[in-house]
Chain A
Amino acid sequence: AQSVTQLDSHVSVSEGTPVLLRCNYSSSYSPSLFWYVQHPNKGLQLLLKYTSAATLVKGINGFEAEFKKSETSFHLTKPSAHMSDAAEYFCVVIGLNTGGFKTIFGAGTRLFVKA
Chain B
Amino acid sequence: EPEVTQTPSHQVTQMGQEVILRCVPISNHLYFYWYRQILGQKVEFLVSFYNNEISEKSEIFDDQFSVERPDGSNFTLKIRSTKLEDSAMYFCASSEIPGQGNSPLHFGNGTRLTVT
Are A and B associated in one complex?
A: yes
| A positions within 8 Å CB-CB of B | 32-34, 36, 41-46, 49-52, 90, 92, 94-96, 99-103, 105-108
Whether A34 lies near B98 (C-beta < 8 A) is no
Q: How distant is A23 from chain B, measured CB to nearest CB, in Å? A: 14
Whether B104 lies near A34 (C-beta < 8 A) is yes
B110 contacts which chain A residues (CB < 8 A)? Answer: 42-43
Tell me the count of chain B residues lying within 8 A, CB to CB, of chain A: 24
The interface residues of chain A, by DSSP majority, are classed as strand
| B positions within 8 Å CB-CB of A | 6, 33, 35, 42-45, 55-56, 91, 93, 98-102, 104-110, 112
A107 contacts which chain B residues (CB < 8 A)? Answer: 42
Q: Known contacts being A90-B43, A108-B42, is A101 close to B104, with CB within 8 Å? A: no
